[in-house]
Amino acid sequence: MKSGQPFAIIGHNPQERLITDFWFGNFETEENFRLVGSHVCEMLKTGAYSYWMPDMRHLTQSFYCSEDWLANDVFPRAVSAGLERKAVVLPPNRNLPAGFDSFGSASNAIRKITDHRVSGFHDLDRAYNWLFEDNLQAMTG
């Protein structure tokens, strides 16, 4: 970003085959927002990851211009690269105007992806548990 401030941190846990992206503040431009989704798709293409958990609880900017891009470009690319599940940790619903409504953007993007592999959550633990519930059931028998 021009300001030099970070807006997202991408993490990965190879043992769990998990990619996380933690968002905070604002990302200034649509291009900055899209860099993260594209990078995650590239990580998924390596075959080392199957799960994705964006944490948007601290995001303060809407990404309404990228909702269709997420549903029609990023999600299909992620699935073809091996994505099994994506659990989105939603920001709080603050009833903000469109340009600042990160909750509205995240909710709209999830609704546009009519696939059982994506779900939104308000709680990090619930998101994590849903992401891995099939694996947990298999381990506990």
Domain regions of the chain by residue span = 8-140
Superfamily in which the 8-140 domain is placed by CATH = STAS domain (3.30.750.24)
At residue 60's C-alpha, the angle toward residues 11 and 7, to 5°, is 35
Query: What's the chain's average pLDDT?
Result: 89
Model confidence pLDDT, tens digit, residues 65-107: 999 999 999 999 999 999 999 999 998 888 877 777 888 889 8
- Main-chain phi, psi angles of 62, to 5 degrees: -75, 150
Quote the pTM value: 0.87
